[in-house]
Chains A and B, each alone.
Chain A
Amino acid sequence: MGIDFFLRTLYGSLGQGLLYAPVAIGVFMSLRIMKKPDLTIEGTFAFGAVIAMTLLYHGAHFTTALLVATVGGAVAGLATSLIHTKLKVDGIISGLLVTMALFSVNLFIMGSSTISAPLRTFIFAPVNNLLSHGLGASNFEALQWSYIIIGLFILIVVITVLHFLYQTKFGLSMRATGDNERMACSNGVNTDSRKISSLVISNAITGLAGALVSQKLNGAEVGIGAGVLIIGLASLVMGEIITPKNRSMVTQLIFIALGSLIYFICITMVVASGLLHSNWERLLTALLALLALCMPKLRQLLFKKKIEVTK
């Protein structure tokens, strides 16, 4: 097990981290901006993955597959938000209901419990071909770099769109709705519509991530979304720990993506080095998330910094 081995794993985790980063951004939108957890994420992720893979399997172009998966995610978010705002069901329960329902929908779409398509139909194929044929990279390297390049590209698009959106009047009213609903309402913001929009956007992003990740995994299965929410949460909180203070929205989003990278590097390194069997991956995820979540308290206990009091 040499340095080469670690480099290879690092490549792998970089691509994975970038492709999963939009999920962490989706979690950020619901948990931090709207200040309400959204459990639809797991269902939406699988929905996006299943839609994309089924379309690719039936010979659709990858742009169609990605677009339909994104719209699918948006529809799932719309379902949750309508159940929550119009039928007045608790937000967490609404998400659970939709996730549950999507499980059957996914099985119906696939027609079986797994589905796969060949690599040449994937969004990674053009970049992969260019790298391996055009630049003569090895098969392994070309594939890993295509994950990284596509992941980075999609991430930049997502972050740019959100960065601009949150600076508009509409975006500001979304943030206000999450921050102080009563205030937003008395300033004439239709808070229900902002809750709906936010969930539609965050789930569209998650659906897109599902579509990308399924292409990295060479297929989708019915349980592909399990645990995605906690991965997103772990990435989010790890990103927040390293985010500098007084941050703007765009720095926050970039650091959340970095959090996703750090998360996947940690996990893959631990598993790949043979320290832990991959069965323990989820436990490790939970522990990492816990560690990141209780970091403020830990810092307080470990480095007791005295706040200077001027007399």
Chain B
Amino acid sequence: MIELQNISQVFDNGVERNQVLKCLNLTIPEGQFVTVIGGNGAGKSTLFNIINGNIRPTSGSIFFDGKDIQRKSHSARAAMIARVYQDPNFGLCPDLTIAENMALANSRGKWRGLQWAIRKKDIAFFKERLAEFDLGLEKMLRKKASLFSGGQRQVVTLLMATLQKPRLLLLDEHTAALDPKIAKQVMCITKKLVDEQKITTIMISHNMSDAITYGDRLIMLNRGEIILDVSGEEKQNLTPAELITMFES
């Protein structure tokens, strides 16, 4: 479904030259859940930025359903690609209520004209979706997002990303800023949302056991190259210790 061909990314400020991605090739079929691991500077976030159009790669091409999407802007790609960031502050508008935030996400990829932003049936729908998590969030629809904790924000952001089923979901270390208990809860919710709708997902993680437990395929990036690409049983048989050894080699 998404295909990256010979993607290279060079950051050059005239003084220093830093090649972050080196002729990267990656094809992900529809419905696959891929976890990506790699050290700092391995090129994971750059990869995401290239996929969702935040930056244009120095060379190479990206195909979505066989169509070249290089020229599509970030906001145009948002109709197909949703992304959840590590920082819980990135995903919500702090001064808007949860209902308003969700209404905004519910129109992702749709025309935003002079129709009412929030209708009664939207509120009912948002309540129903929030109630699924059993966190009491459905009672806080009218509250401003700035009042929410990091964990609550990530849950709402995740739900918002999947409210309109995206063709591709990018999870950028979305549990890294949370405490271990909440992080685990958010991972369970992630799995539930992704499995329910069979969303094609790429998740960056720093947690080795998460990377092994979740998803169908695991990719390890190092200095801009894929050094490991396993799936199925081979992936399930990996241990965190093995991965760390590979990390260090």
A residues with a Cβ closer than 8 A to B are 165, 167-173, 175-176, 179-180, 182-191
Contacts and interface: CB of A to CB of B under 8 A. Distances in A.
The 8 closest A-B pairs by CB, nearest first: A188-B78, A179-B93, A172-B117, A169-B112, A180-B93, A168-B114, A188-B108, A179-B95
B135 to A, nearest CB: 21
Interface stretch (B15-23, B98-106, B183-191, B230-238): B98-106
Interface in B91-132: 91-96, 100-101, 103-105, 107-110, 112-118
A189 B75 contact: yes
Given A179-B94, A182-B90, A190 B104 contact: no
B22 to A, nearest CB: 27
Contacts of B75: 185, 188-191
Interface of B: 52, 73-76, 78-79, 82-83, 89-96, 100-101, 103-105, 107-110, 112-118, 160
B113 A172 contact: no
Given A168-B114, A169-B117, A172-B100, A183 B82 contact: no
A165 B101 CA distance: 17
B113 A183 contact: no
Contacts of A182: 90
A171 B92 CA distance: 17
29 contacts: A167-B116, A167-B117, A168-B116, A168-B117, A169-B107, A169-B112, A169-B114, A169-B115, A169-B117, A170-B113, A171-B117, A172-B112, A172-B117, A173-B104, A173-B112, A175-B93, A176-B93, A179-B93, A179-B95, A180-B89, A180-B92, A182-B90, A186-B78, A186-B83, A187-B78, A187-B104, A187-B107, A189-B104, A190-B73
Nearest to A171: B117
Most buried by B among A170, A172, A186, A191: A186
A168 to B, nearest CB: 5
Contacts of B112: 169-170, 172-173, 189
Contacts of A180: 89-90, 92-94
B92 A183 contact: yes
Given A167-B117, A176-B101, 17 more contacts: A165-B114, A167-B118, A168-B114, A168-B117, A169-B116, A170-B114, A172-B96, A172-B112, A172-B117, A172-B118, A176-B100, A183-B90, A187-B108, A188-B79, A189-B104, A190-B73, A191-B75
B117 A186 contact: no
Contacts of A176: 93, 96, 100-101, 104
Contact of A168 (B79, B110, B113, B160): B113
Given A180-B93, A188-B109, A172 B104 contact: yes
Nearest to B89: A180
A183 B107 contact: no
Contacts of B108: 187-188
Contacts of B76: 188
A168 B104 CA distance: 10
Contacts of A171: 117
Contacts of A187: 78, 104-105, 107-108, 160
A176 B91 CA distance: 11
B117 A183 contact: no
B52 A186 contact: yes
Contacts of A185: 74-75, 78
A131 to B, nearest CB: 37
B83 A183 contact: no
A165 B108 CA distance: 19
A251 to B, nearest CB: 15
Contacts of B110: 188
